[in-house]
Amino acid sequence: MKLGFEESQRPYTSPSQSARAWTERWVRDWVYCPNCGCPTISPFPNNSPVADFFCAVCKEEYELKSQKSVFDNKVMDGSYRTKCERLAASNNPNLFLLNYDLKQLTVANFLVVPKNFFVKEIIQERKPLAPTARRAGWIGSNILLNEVPESGKIFIVRGGQPEPKDSVLAKWQRTLFLREQEQEARGWLIEVMKCVEAIGRPEFNLDDVYAFEGRLGRLYPGNRNVRPKIRQQLQFLRDRGFLDFVSRGYHRLRGWKER
Ligand SMILES: [Zn+2]
């Protein structure tokens, strides 16, 4: 994987237009499909409302967001209504986030957020555009990256270094089980995954997770049985290979070494 951009053939009028052309070209030339490992992915025709890239082999779809600063907690995205509709229909694309170095004309960080992590909790509604704006009243969305667990941010390039492909593919496979879940069940699993990651060490016991009881109770005020719900999620995560059972009450987070 080469990280530098190719000089574009056509002159562009603005730096952001050039960057868009460079980053799209780079993805087309160098990025493999993190779902099936196919060596290249293809662009959709320009201005496709669906997504930017797709894999011709496994049909996964990808949306590309690129910017020169490192992505922080919020990523501006398209229409809020469209996002919610696609969420409900489970046909939202996976999200590629590319952060480039404009001086070196090279990729600094490139990660993918698998679509299985898209639940309504991570889509935020923005304020409608002002009456004076060209698209007055239009409502955009933010993706709240800080609400995505670490296991849902899979780096393909980190700090100017490509990550090993087999490790990227393994990380992708590890959370695919979320796709079988309905929105609400998925929301619970993702919250418990975040709690488990927040413990900060690979092995933990039940009490470590119960420490988040208050937080989970606030997130799901209708649920009065937070502890049994936590145990149920842990068991599910164990059955799907996200966690390993060590001994009574003790679990281990898989893939910890790769973090
Ligand atoms: Zn594929």
pLDDT in tens, 232-249: 999 999 999 999 989 888
- Give the CA diameter of the chain: 64
Q: How far is the CA of 32 from the centre of ligand 1 (A)?
A: 8
To the nearest whole number, what is the mean pLDDT of the chain?
A: 90
In the chain, the amino acid numbered 36 is: C
How many CB atoms lie under 10 A from the CB of residue 259?
Answer: 10
Q: Sheet harboring 203-205: ordered strands across?
A: 203-205, 250-253, 243-247
Closest listed residue to residue 55, CA positions, set 45, 40, 70: 40
Q: How far is the CA of 242 from the centre of ligand 1 (A)?
A: 22
Contact (CB, 8 A) for 52 and 24: yes
Q: Where are the beta strands (DSSP E) in the chain?
A: 42-43, 53-54, 61-67, 74-79, 94-101, 106-113, 123-125, 140-144, 154-158, 161-162, 203-205, 243-247, 250-253
Q: How far is the CA of 12 from the centre of ligand 1 (A)?
A: 31
What is the reported pLDDT for 8? 58
Q: How far is the CA of 56 from the centre of ligand 1 (A)?
A: 7
What is the reported pLDDT for 161? 96
Q: How far is the CA of 47 from the centre of ligand 1 (A)?
A: 22
What is the reported pLDDT for 92? 86
Q: How far is the CA of 41 from the centre of ligand 1 (A)?
A: 7
Q: How far is the CA of 171 from the centre of ligand 1 (A)?
A: 15
Residue 101, beta-bridge partner list: 106
What residues flank ion ligand 1 with Cβ within 5 A?
33, 35-36, 38, 55, 57-58
Q: How far is the CA of 212 from the centre of ligand 1 (A)?
A: 37
pTM over 0.95, yes/no: no
Residue with tokens 């898209």: 118
Q: How far is the CA of 169 from the centre of ligand 1 (A)?
A: 11
Q: How far is the CA of 61 from the centre of ligand 1 (A)?
A: 9
Residue 256 has pLDDT above 80, yes or no: no
Residue 103 burial (CB < 10 Å; 0-12/13-18/19+)? exposed
∠ Cα 51 191 140 (to 5°): 35
